[in-house]
Structures are given as structure tokens and as C-alpha cells.
Amino acid sequence: MTDTNQVPAPVASAVLAHVVRSIVDDPDAVVVDGQPGRGRVRLEVRVGPNDLGRVIGKRGKTAQAIRTLVRAAASRDGVDVDVDFVD
């Protein structure tokens, strides 16, 4: 489980973790890591081996919707975020 107090964008990370955990079959395998970069925070999401396709969705539509939602939530943190789904 991710400790959102140590992530550079705590609201965006919490929203991301909540949404991804609600989609996947194995919510305990979801890990969200944040890395600050040049004016942006990169949020990496790792899921269980059988859940990556579920998170990405057909033609990437689910992943794009998650990115849009998390970018909106990041405005509460005052940062811009990029969301990457890591294998």
C-alpha cells in the first residue's frame, strides 16, 4: 500500500490508487510511486500481472480516462502530473 504522505502529489496519488484498485481483480497488488521531475510529478502505477490489460482498456481509453481524472485531481496539489502504467 502506498503512503500518500511521501508522494509529491498526495491527492492525485490517492485518487489514482483508489480508481485503479476499483478496476483490478487484485487490489492488493496496486502500487503507486511518485517521482518529482522538471515541473511535473511522474506517477507510476504497477498492478498484478493479469490486470494491466484491464487498466489500459480497449484502445487505451480506460488509461486515458484515468490520466484525465488524475490530472484534474492534481490541481488540488498545485502540480502537473504524468501517469505511467508500468509492466
Q: Which of 11, 56, 7, 63 is nearest to 36 (CA)?
A: 7
- Architecture of the 10-86 domain: 2-Layer Sandwich (3.30)
Q: How far is CA 43 from the centre of its chain?
A: 6
Please report, for the chain, the start and end positions of each structural domain, with discontinuous segments joined by +: 10-86
67, 73, 84, 85: which is closest to 9 by C-alpha? Answer: 73
| Range 2-21 average pLDDT | 83
Q: Which of 26, 4, 59 is nearest to 43 (CA)?
A: 4
pLDDT in tens, 20-71: 999 999 999 999 999 988 879 999 999 998 999 999 999 999 999 999 999 9
Alpha helices in 38-80 (DSSP H): 52-56, 61-74
pTM for this entry = 0.88
